[in-house]
Structure 1
Amino acid sequence: MQFQYKEAGVRVDLPYGMLDISSDEDYGYRPYQLMVASIVGCSTSVFMKILEKQRVNVEDFVVRTEVERNEAEADRIEKIRIHYVIKGKNLSDEKLYKNLEIARKNCSMVRSVEDSIEIVETLETIQISM
């Protein structure tokens, strides 16, 4: 990757498109947003692949986050709470939590930061009948 300095931040041209990064949201994505998005994106993708392999019937999948930052330490990310809301048929919380543990072990982004950022993952299910 090659980054180019631009007004109030940097720009990188990636295969999917241009990405602007800045501490000012008027000029690009904030670095902490990209960090959280990378962690959640990786974790969610791995989790869904596991569910698809097991043929878990997922109708809808939403992820909510809360981020705790430490102002005294340059706004360092201290904790990320990731809450999965899964809507589907015949969902087992026990099985989903086991799959979430497997996903966590196989997500490169979570593994990269697990010693420095506390990652808390929870889930809730919405059962649909048919």
Structure 2
Amino acid sequence: MATHSVTTTWKRKMQFESTNPSGETLLINAGAENGGEGAGLRPKAMMLASLAGCSGLDIASLIEKMKLDIEDFKIETSANLTEEDPKIYDNVVVEYHFYGNNLNETKLQRAVDLSVDKYCGVMEMFRKFATIETKTFFHKI
């Protein structure tokens, strides 16, 4: 069983620096409305980025294995934040956007489905506390 560890260090006021197991660092900060200075990422937004990144890495790998021809690919995530404390995401929408002239929509949708239903561990973690809706869009360029 693998264990992941990060170290998060207070940098004063409402800012922290966190390490990644690869040694990279990122800044975490509260918004101005919560006493922060806006430098760095917000913790809940990082959760959405982690969700998109996890699924995106799965799909990028499958695109390569399937030898699919795409020009660009992006994932947009949005989530509803509950009003009561602790505020959590209770509904998340993940939109997959593929761009290109020769998109194999069937195989691309298969890659999305494999990530969403089988491979993405972050997606599975989100399912423990939120309803997740996924949408796929194909854009000819």
Runs of 5+ unmatched residues, structure 2: 1-5
SS in 2 for 1:71: coil
Q: Is the 8 A contact 1:8 1:27 kept in 2?
A: no
SS in 2 for 1:79: strand
2:20 is the counterpart of 1:5: no
Runs of 5+ unmatched residues, structure 1: none
- Shift of residue 119, structure 1, vs aligned partner: 2.0
- Shift of residue 20, structure 1, vs aligned partner: 1.9
Identity %: 23
Q: Is the 8 A contact 2:70 2:102 kept in 1?
A: no
SS in 1 for 2:84: helix
Q: Distance in 2 between matches of 1:111 and 1:74?
A: 21
Q: Hey, what does 1:109 align to over in structure 2?
A: 122
Q: Distance in 1 between matches of 2:29 and 2:102?
A: 44
Q: Residue deviations 1:15-34, cap 9 Å, x none?
A: 12x32213226243111111
Amino acid at match of 1:9: Q
- Shift of residue 49, structure 1, vs aligned partner: 0.9
- Shift of residue 64, structure 1, vs aligned partner: 1.9
1:83 to 83, 95, 98: 95
Number of residue pairs the alignment of both structures matches: 127
TM-score computed with the length of structure 1 as normaliser: 0.84
2:124 is the counterpart of 1:118: no
Q: Residue deviations 1:69-125, cap 9 Å, x none?
A: 111243211122111111124324333222211112111211222121222211111
SS in 2 for 1:58: coil
Q: Is the 8 A contact 2:92 2:130 kept in 1?
A: yes
Whichever structure has more strand as a proportion of its residues is: 1
- Shift of residue 53, structure 1, vs aligned partner: 0.6
